[in-house]
């Protein structure tokens, strides 16, 4: 076990939400957020699902939170995108006169998931027999169609910004323009796993939340100085989105991981018998780094938080 102040140097976490200047490498970056908003809305709005008994379609995209960027590091193209999408749909049984309306929610469109792994949740305003049938049509048949549209978006994003990113050699320009090899220029697929941990701390949720968000407290348990802007998009920020005192979501990597590969860490705080139960879920962890990452959380976070702040804990 590492002694206090002698932490494993590999456990140096890079938490920039946009991944810029990872390991001090030079990046050329183009913002693809507005382009993505326009094209995702166009791909989804009006998407129709028709069966022998019914017809449904997405009528609007009501909310789209997130960002997208295209990056060139040493002539290697890397794409980041992360979207939470909400919208509305309507449907009608062909033998019925009543039109039903509902909503859909996409919480995890990002480079961490393949298009067919993206979740789509459907609800209907009125849960009658026909309403339920229409919702099931959208769930079973509409979901794969929406996922196909996401695959189109990803392909369009790479094609559009492969043309505009400044490649550093003529060889790379040729690779970008060649459809048969373009996929090789955007990186190698990494096998990943998901970590789920639980840790109980003898303190209130507000106190533990501050451990992860207050600059002075972060510096206390890490034993080093920190630049810490607790806001969405902040520099070396813990936050990529949060619900105060109950949930933190951040993009996260270790320096030993493949260049520019980020995982997503979700920390949820809940009260349990006067103490705080911290649930951690980390997706996108490289398989080869799985055990090391779990050990890192226990040694470099849980044990140090307990030592510095006296929040006695029980490891699950």
Between CA 111 and CA 30, with CA 21 as vertex, the angle to 5 degrees is: 60
Per-residue pLDDT band at 313 (split at 50, 70, 90): low
Domain end position, chosen among 186, 211, 242: 186
Question: Where residue 251 sits, what CATH number does that domain have?
Answer: 3.30.530.20
Q: Percentage of the chain surpassing pLDDT 70?
A: 72
pLDDT at 310: 85
Domain assignment of residue 8, yes or no: no
pTM, full prediction: 0.48
Domain assignment of residue 144, yes or no: yes
Domain assignment of residue 17, yes or no: no
Residue 221 and residue 170 share a domain: no
pLDDT at 69: 85
Residue 221 and residue 82 share a domain: no
Residue 254 and residue 205 share a domain: yes
Residue 203 and residue 176 share a domain: no
Specify burial of residue 310 (Cβ count, 10 A radius: 0-12, 13-18, 19+).
exposed
Domain assignment of residue 307, yes or no: yes
Report the distance separating Cα 290 and Cα 284, nearest Å: 10
- Look up residue 51 and give its DSSP letter: -
Per-residue pLDDT band at 208 (split at 50, 70, 90): confident
pLDDT at 173: 36
Report the distance separating Cα 218 and Cα 15, nearest Å: 13
Domain assignment of residue 279, yes or no: yes
Residue 249 and residue 293 share a domain: yes
Residue 255 and residue 152 share a domain: no
Residue 193 and residue 182 share a domain: no
* Alpha-carbon 160 to chain mean position: 22
The 10s digit of each residue's pLDDT in 217-247 is 877 776 655 545 555 444 444 444 444 567 8
Domain end position, chosen among 186, 207, 241: 186
Q: Percentage of the chain surpassing pLDDT 90?
A: 37
Domain end position, chosen among 186, 215, 248: 186
Residue 153 and residue 35 share a domain: yes
pLDDT at 274: 85
DSSP string, 54-72: EEEEEEEEEEEEEEEEEEE
Domain assignment of residue 55, yes or no: yes
- pLDDT exceeds cutoff 80 at 19: no
- pLDDT exceeds cutoff 70 at 201: yes
Per-residue pLDDT band at 216 (split at 50, 70, 90): confident
Domain assignment of residue 238, yes or no: yes
Which residue, 16, 10, 22, 13, is CA-closest to 256?
10
Question: Where residue 130 sits, what CATH number does that domain have?
Answer: 3.15.10.20
pLDDT at 13: 58
Residue 244 and residue 157 share a domain: no
Give the count of domains, the chain. 2
Residue 241 and residue 115 share a domain: no
Residue 48 and residue 36 share a domain: yes
pLDDT at 212: 82
Task: Indicate the length of the chain as a whole number.
Answer: 316
The 10s digit of each residue's pLDDT in 270-287 is 988 889 999 999 999 999
pLDDT at 139: 95
Question: 154 with 174: CB under 8 angstroms?
Answer: no
Report the distance separating Cα 211 and Cα 213, nearest Å: 6
Residue 229 and residue 158 share a domain: no
Report the distance separating Cα 221 and Cα 105, nearest Å: 38
- Host domain of residue 100: 22-186
Q: Which of 10-19, 49-58, 71-80, 106-115 has the highest mean pLDDT?
A: 49-58
Domain assignment of residue 75, yes or no: yes
Report the distance separating Cα 245 and Cα 143, nearest Å: 33
């Amino acid at each position: 076990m590492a002694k206090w102040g002698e932490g494993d140097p590999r456990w140096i976490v890079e938490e920039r939400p946009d991944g810029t200047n990872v390991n001090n490498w030079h990046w050329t970056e183009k913002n693809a957020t507005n382009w993505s908003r326009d094209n995702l809305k166009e791909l989804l709005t009006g998407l129709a699902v028709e069966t022998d008994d019914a017809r449904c379609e997405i009528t609007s995209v009501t909310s789209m939170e997130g960002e997208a960027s295209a990056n060139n590091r040493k002539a290697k193209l890397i794409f980041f995108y992360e979207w939470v999408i909400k919208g509305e749909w309507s449907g009608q049984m062909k033998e019925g006169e009543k039109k039903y309306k509902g909503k859909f929610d996409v919480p995890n469109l990002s480079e961490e998931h393949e298009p067919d792994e993206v979740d789509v949740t459907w609800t209907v305003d009125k849960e009658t027999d026909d309403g339920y049938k229409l919702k099931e049509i959208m769930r079973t048949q509409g979901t794969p169609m929406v996922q196909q549209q996401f695959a189109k978006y990803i392909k369009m994003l790479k094609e559009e910004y492969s043309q505009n990113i400044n490649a550093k050699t003529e060889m790379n320009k040729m690779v970008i323009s060649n459809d048969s090899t373009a996929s090789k220029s955007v990186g190698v697929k990494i096998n990943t796993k998901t970590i789920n941990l639980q840790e109980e701390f003898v303190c209130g949720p507000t106190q533990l939340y501050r451990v992860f968000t207050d600059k002075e407290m972060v510096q206390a348990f890490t034993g080093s100085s920190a630049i810490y802007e607790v806001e969405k998009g902040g520099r070396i920020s813990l936050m990529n989105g949060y619900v105060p005192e109950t949930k933190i979501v951040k993009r996260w990597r270790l320096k030993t991981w493949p260049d520019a590969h980020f995982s997503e860490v979700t920390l949820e705080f809940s009260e349990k018998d006067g103490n705080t139960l911290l649930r951690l879920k980390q997706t996108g962890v490289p398989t080869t780094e799985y055990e090391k990452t779990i050990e890192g959380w226990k040694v470099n976070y849980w044990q140090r938080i307990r030592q510095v702040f006296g929040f006695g804990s029980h490891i699950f």
